[in-house]
């Protein structure tokens, strides 16, 4: 006899969130861009009205042709052909993009569309120097307003005990999933798999990690996460086994690839799993779902949501080698932060070569940069950016806040917020594009700058080299324990880290998420006064402070907003 499922009321699947990576629209229709609230149409500059004039001419031409055909009825035979031709011509005129071009090939659509940050830095650097060597203890001690903290505490076990079963029912079969992507994409897949296994009363087999063509990390589950602790932490809620039992495997000729692979749509609802997956699970005794990424909706019953909490924040801890080295690195960061009250700032810097290339943004490297980025785009995405009809607008991307911040811009932002050169700074990143050039000004502004390569010795890092997920786990841990975390580009790393910090810091993310649309305006103002620059950035810091205590909305991810699903107010405990 099969066990029951854990489904309560059915919940409709929510639409998936948009990708953190910029996707260029194929729609060629002209759009206007309002910057700074002035309501200015930048496309009207430099001949923007030409498209309107052309459109009026075509309208009159089509009207004239229709009038002639109406008077000479013999020509009505050609009416459909002429009508279609006229409409295609008319619609074509609506798709004309009229923008000015800069000397570097960028589209100049107004303030912020060109990378001029080095010029602004040259002007403001003397003022930054004048404020150097001050104690940043007060800044790090007062970065966050304690009155905003609402006193949340983790209460995963209480939540599950109130809504789950008092004892585990008979299992309905074995669930095998394949996790793909980088470290935090794998984390998402694992915890959603735990939730689905709980929903279906299935036994979960330790997830298989797909060798991703981008990440190229051959690590297995036990190389990144503590497998034994994972099984133990979930023991009262979900059965987890390292591999399929022999008698089940024999049913499939000792080959897991013979087990039926169910193609589950992204963001599927609990009802879908009960109606489509559960019958197959009971019939066959084991099913596979591969790939298993974003395969469960955000909105699920509270007891299933509790399993996500338990998995992500309690059961899924890093393997011992990662934990040991990460703890040493955190301790070393604290020791280097003696001038700032043993507190430090961490930054997730996304200025790797592939990120710069994918963004299609233009910086200050001229033809050499353009040539290098063209090579990277072709090598990694094979013609994606050369498709017919695709229009790349670096200036529009920058104005819209879609360009990765350079190390220089991150440093300017932090100095403007009040963090001086005594602030210890940890930079989490991959290989920075032209690091010698772009990292120099950041080190100039923050001499106490560290990375995993400087905090750990080559001998300590050797077991992790060539394994991007293990290296990312080191970065993740050091960032988790910082007083201030700065996210600069989005993606799964800050998505999970911000949620983990909320869980860790009583519901407050303690994270700076800059408004990049405003930043590019500031970085394109060579005449700006230092006091005005600081005032606007300190306003941005206060905004991040307020947004740090947000509660989860129905369409939001629990992994980023753990309150109130995974946490309770102190008064309620």
- Tens of pLDDT, residue by residue over 329-369, are 999 999 999 888 899 999 999 999 999 999 999 999 999 99
Lookup: tokens for 96: 């004309």
Q: By the 8 A CB rule, do 300 and 273 touch? A: no
Lowest-confidence pick of 27-41, 128-142, 237-251, 502-516: 27-41
Residues 389-408: tens digit of each pLDDT: 888 899 999 999 999 999 99
- Record the pTM: 0.81
Name the β-bridge partners of 30: none
Lowest-confidence pick of 92-101, 277-286, 521-530: 92-101
* N-term to C-term CA, the chain: 39
Among 426, 390, 441, smallest CA distance to 117 is for 441
Helix axes 530-547, 407-417, angle to 10 degrees: 90
Residue 80 has what pLDDT? 56
Residue 14 has what pLDDT? 36
Q: What are phi and psi of 484, to 5 degrees?
A: -130, 130
Task: Work out the mean pLDDT of the chain and round it to a whole number.
Answer: 84
More confident residue, 490 or 516: 516
Q: By the 8 A CB rule, do 383 and 390 touch? A: no
Residues 166-214: tens digit of each pLDDT: 456 789 999 999 998 899 999 999 999 999 999 999 999 999 998 765 6
Residue 157 has what pLDDT? 76
Q: How much is the average pLDDT of 448-475?
A: 96
Q: How much is the average pLDDT of 404-424?
A: 96
Lookup: tokens for 420: 């001086």
Asked if pLDDT for residue 451 goes beyond 60, the answer is yes
Q: In a 3-state reduction of DSSP, which class is residue 338?
A: helix
Q: How much is the average pLDDT of 306-314?
A: 97
Residue 63 has what pLDDT? 60
Q: How much is the average pLDDT of 511-519?
A: 97
Q: How confident is the model at residue 420 (pLDDT cuts 50, 70, 90)?
A: very high
Cα torsion through 41, 43, 47, 53, rounded to 10: -80
Neighbour tally for 168: CB within 10 Å: 16
Q: How much is the average pLDDT of 61-83?
A: 56
Name the β-bridge partners of 240: 204
Lowest-confidence pick of 514-523, 525-534, 562-571: 562-571
* Cα distance between residue 201 and residue 239, in whole Å: 9
* Cα distance between residue 81 and residue 467, in whole Å: 61
More confident residue, 84 or 382: 382
Q: How confident is the model at residue 160 (pLDDT cuts 50, 70, 90)?
A: confident
Helix axes 117-130, 530-547, angle to 10 degrees: 90
The half-sphere exposure of 390 on its side-chain side, counting CA atoms within 13 A, is: 11
Residue 255: cis peptide before it, omega within 30 degrees of 0: no
Percent of the chain scored above 90 by pLDDT?
68
Percent of the chain scored above 70 by pLDDT?
77
Burial status of residue 340 (CB atoms within 10 A of its CB: 0-12, 13-18, 19 or more)? buried
Asked if pLDDT for residue 62 goes beyond 70, the answer is no
Residue 514 has what pLDDT? 96
* Cα distance between residue 203 and residue 245, in whole Å: 11
Question: What element of type H or E holds 58?
Answer: helix 50-71
* Cα distance between residue 219 and residue 444, in whole Å: 37
Residues 16-49: tens digit of each pLDDT: 344 333 444 444 343 333 333 443 333 334 444 4
Lookup: tokens for 348: 């997730």
Q: How much is the average pLDDT of 123-152?
A: 82
């Amino acid at each position: 006899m099969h066990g029951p499922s854990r489904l309560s009321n059915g919940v409709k699947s929510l639409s998936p969130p948009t990708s953190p990576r910029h996707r260029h629209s194929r729609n060629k229709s002209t759009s206007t861009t309002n910057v700074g609230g002035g309501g200015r149409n930048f496309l009207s500059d430099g001949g923007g009205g030409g498209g309107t004039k052309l459109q009026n001419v075509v309208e009159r031409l089509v009207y004239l042709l229709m009038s002639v055909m109406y008077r000479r009825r013999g020509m009505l035979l050609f009416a459909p052909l002429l009508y279609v031709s006229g409409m295609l011509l008319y619609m074509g005129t609506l798709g004309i993009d009229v923008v000015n071009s800069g000397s570097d090939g960028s589209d100049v659509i107004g303030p912020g569309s060109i990378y001029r940050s080095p010029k602004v830095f040259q002007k403001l650097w003397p003022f930054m120097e004048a404020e150097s060597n001050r104690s940043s203890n007060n800044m790090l001690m007062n970065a966050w307003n304690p009155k905003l903290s609402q006193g949340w505490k983790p209460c995963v076990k209480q939540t599950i005990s109130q809504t789950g079963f008092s004892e585990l029912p008979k299992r309905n079969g074995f669930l095998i999933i394949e996790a793909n992507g980088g470290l935090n994409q794998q984390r998402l897949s694992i915890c959603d798999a735990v939730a689905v296994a709980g929903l279906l009363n299935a036994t979960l087999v330790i997830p298989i990690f797909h060798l991703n063509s981008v990440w190229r990390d051959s690590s297995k589950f036990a190389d990144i996460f503590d497998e034994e602790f994972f099984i133990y932490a979930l023991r009262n809620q979900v059965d987890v086994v390292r591999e399929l039992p022999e008698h089940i495997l024999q049913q499939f000729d000792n080959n897991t690839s013979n087990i039926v692979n169910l193609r589950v749509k992204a963001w599927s609802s609990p009802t879908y799993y009960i109606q489509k997956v559960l019958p197959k699970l009971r019939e066959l005794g084991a099913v596979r779902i591969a790939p298993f990424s974003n395969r469960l909706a955000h909105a699920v019953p509270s007891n299933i949501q509790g399993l996500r909490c338990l998995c992500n924040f309690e059961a899924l801890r890093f393997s011992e080698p990662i934990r040991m080295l990460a703890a040493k690195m955190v301790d070393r960061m604290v020791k280097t932060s003696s001038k700032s009250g043993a507190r430090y700032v961490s930054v997730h810097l996304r200025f790797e070569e592939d990120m710069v290339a994918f963004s299609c943004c233009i910086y200050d490297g001229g033809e050499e940069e353009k040539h290098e980025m063209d090579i990277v785009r072709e090598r990694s995405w094979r013609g994606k950016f050369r498709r017919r009809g695709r229009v790349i607008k670096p200036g529009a991307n920058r104005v819209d806040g879609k360009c990765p911040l350079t190390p220089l811009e991150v440093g300017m932002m932090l100095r403007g917020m009040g963090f001086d050169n005594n602030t210890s700074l940890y930079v989490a990143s991959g290989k920075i594009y032209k690091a010698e050039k772009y990292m120099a000004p950041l080190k100039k502004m923050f001499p106490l700058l560290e990375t995993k390569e400087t905090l750990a010795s080559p001998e300590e890092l050797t077991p992790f080299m060539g394994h991007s997920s293990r290296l990312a786990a080191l970065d993740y841990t050091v960032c988790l324990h910082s007083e201030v975390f700065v996210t600069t580009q989005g993606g799964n790393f800050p998505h999970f880290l911000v949620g983990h910090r909320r869980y860790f810091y009583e519901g407050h993310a303690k994270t700076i998420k800059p408004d990049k649309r405003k930043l590019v305006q500031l970085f394109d103002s060579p005449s700006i006064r230092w006091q005005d620059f600081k005032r606007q950035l300190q306003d941005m810091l206060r905004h991040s402070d307020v947004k740090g205590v947000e509660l989860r909305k129905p369409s939001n991810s629990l992994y980023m907003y753990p309150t109130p699903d995974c946490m309770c107010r102190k008064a309620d405990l």
